[in-house]
Amino acid sequence: MAILKQDVIDSMRDVMDPHMNVNLNDMGMIGGVTINADGDIEVGLVFPCIGCPAMDLIKDDAEKAVRKIAGARNVTVKADWGKKWDRTMLSQEARDNAKSHGYII
């Protein structure tokens, strides 16, 4: 069965930005997702901060999560500097979560 982009997004439901405690999808950090017929998957992550100290950790977590998808073969997760992150990309759920620990966004 072919892997869908939504499968990739869903796989990262529990991958969190550790400074916000919000998952990558709600953070609006999932950029381009490319899947080929062989099950090779490439994910671009859009980082809010150019010097994110958690960058390696987030990429590693994301890669582990995507690898769990049935049929996934080679998985590459990299920073996608071609897209710009801004706060309008945060979901309402992320805003509510952030508000509960002191951020008003």
Partner 1 sequence: MSNTQQAIQIGDKTAEKALLERIDSGELIEDMADMTPRYRAVLERTLAIAAQGEVTVLTWAQTAFRTCPDLGAKIAVAGSIQDEVGHAHQQGMLWERFGFDMQKQTFEVDPNSYWSLPIMEFPISNYIEFVVAQAFLDRAGRYTTWDIEKHCSFAPYRRTLRKVNFEEAFHFRHGAMWTEYFMNFSEETKQMVNEAVKWIFPWGYHWYGRPDHLKGHPDQLTYGVRKWTNDTMRRKWLKSACLFAQRIGLEVPAHFDDETQEWVFDEPFPMLFDRDNKEWIREESDWDTFINEFKVGGPMRPAVYERLQREEWGNFLWQS
Q: Which residues bind partner 1 (CB under 8 A)?
A: 16, 18-19, 21, 51-57, 60, 100-102
In contact, 31 and 44? CB cutoff 8 Å: yes
* Smallest separation, CB 60 to partner 1 (Å): 6
Number of residues in the chain: 105
* Smallest separation, CB 31 to partner 1 (Å): 20
Residue 18 or 71 having the CB closest to partner 1:
18
Place of tokens 């049935």: 70
Token pair belonging to 20: 């916000």
Residue 6 or 100 having the CB closest to partner 1:
100
Residue 4 or 14 having the CB closest to partner 1:
14
CA pair distance 35, 19, nearest whole angstrom: 29
H helices of 35-91, in order, are 55-67
Within 10 A of 46 (CB to CB), how many other CB atoms are there?
Answer: 20
* Smallest separation, CB 48 to partner 1 (Å): 13
Residue 64 or 83 having the CB closest to partner 1:
64
